């Protein structure tokens, strides 16, 4: 009777279903790791890309909502905060017994970098593109079910949100003052991120706070090269 009444609780029942699903998937995963065609062994994990993550999410059961646009936004955010160590294990799904859905993003940490040139650990295109500039992400928008206009809108929304939310974020996280001055324009919204992105891009002139913000326009001499790069799309 106690067991029956306990399982009658929706929360407990869902937890049991999730646990059972995880156990089943763990058993399947052990089989996959013996077959390089269907699973990724530890030494090959570095070659997993965002399209691979999407393929796994779509292959194993229906999703409550298409995870593609959300994953695209997460890639843009990782670029914006120099989260260059993003990898496949940072993307997981929750199973409610019927559908899968991406769990909230986690392990979002700016990585140390020098200069404006960097690359992402997790490739985001069919060919494993890893370059940090946001303009390099736009041609891969169709991979995530977005056209170029929609992809650009997502990128600009993410860059704007990072700029507008920076002060509140560091205040809430109680980031020491000495560290706050090192983040803007270096780890957060490094100039290499909006590089070659045509049009208006948000950024910092230096320092912290509203007075240090500015609206930057791309160098007109980069326009032709940028438009060409943004025009080459991947399906």
**Which pLDDT tens digit goes with each residue over 203-221?**
555 444 443 444 443 333 3
Average pLDDT in the 56-76 region? 83
Kindly report which listed range (25-34, 36-45, 119-128, 195-204) carries the lowest average pLDDT score.
25-34
Q: Which pLDDT tens digit goes with each residue over 133-159?
A: 888 889 999 988 899 999 999 999 998
Q: Is the pLDDT of residue 182 over 60?
A: yes
What predicted TM-score, i.e. pTM, was given to this entire model? 0.67
In terms of Cα–Cα distance, which of 172, 182, 48 is closest to 112?
A: 182
> What is the phi/psi pair of residue 159, to 5°?
-60, -40
Kindly report which listed range (21-25, 128-132, 176-180, 216-220) carries the lowest average pLDDT score.
216-220
User: What is the CB neighbour count within 10 angstroms for residue 202?
Assistant: 18
**What pLDDT is recorded for position 202?**
55
Q: Is the pLDDT of residue 50 over 60?
A: yes
In terms of Cα–Cα distance, which of 35, 57, 231, 9 is closest to 136?
A: 231
* Cα–Cα distance list, 185 to 15, 43, 68, 170 (Å): 44, 34, 29, 15
> What is the phi/psi pair of residue 111, to 5°?
-100, 150
Q: Which pLDDT tens digit goes with each residue over 10-23?
A: 554 544 444 444 44
């Amino acid at each position: 009777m106690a067991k029956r009444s306990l399982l009658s609780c929706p929360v407990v029942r869902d937890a049991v279903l999730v646990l059972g699903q995880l156990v089943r998937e763990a058993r399947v995963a052990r089989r996959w790791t013996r077959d390089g065609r269907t699973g990724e062994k530890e030494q090959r994990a570095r070659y997993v890309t965002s399209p691979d993550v999407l393929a796994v999410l779509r292959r194993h059961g229906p999703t409550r909502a298409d995870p593609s646009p959300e994953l695209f936004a997460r890639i843009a955010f990782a670029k914006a905060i120099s989260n260059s160590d993003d990898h496949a294990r940072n993307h997981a799904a929750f199973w409610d017994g019927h559908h899968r859905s991406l769990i909230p993003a986690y392990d979002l940490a700016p990585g140390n970098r020098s200069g404006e040139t960097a690359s992402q650990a997790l490739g985001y295109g069919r060919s494993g593109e890893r370059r940090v500039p946001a303009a390099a992400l736009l041609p891969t928008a169709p991979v995530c079910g977005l056209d170029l206009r929609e992809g650009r809108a997502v990128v600009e929304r993410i860059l704007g949100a990072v700029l507008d939310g920076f002060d509140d974020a560091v205040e809430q996280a109680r980031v020491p003052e000495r560290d706050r001055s090192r983040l803007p324009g270096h780890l957060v919204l490094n100039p290499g991120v909006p590089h070659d992105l045509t049009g208006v891009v948000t950024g910092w002139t230096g320092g912290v706070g509203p007075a240090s913000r500015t609206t930057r326009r791309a160098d007109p001499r980069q326009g032709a090269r940028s438009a060409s790069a943004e025009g080459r799309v991947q399906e």
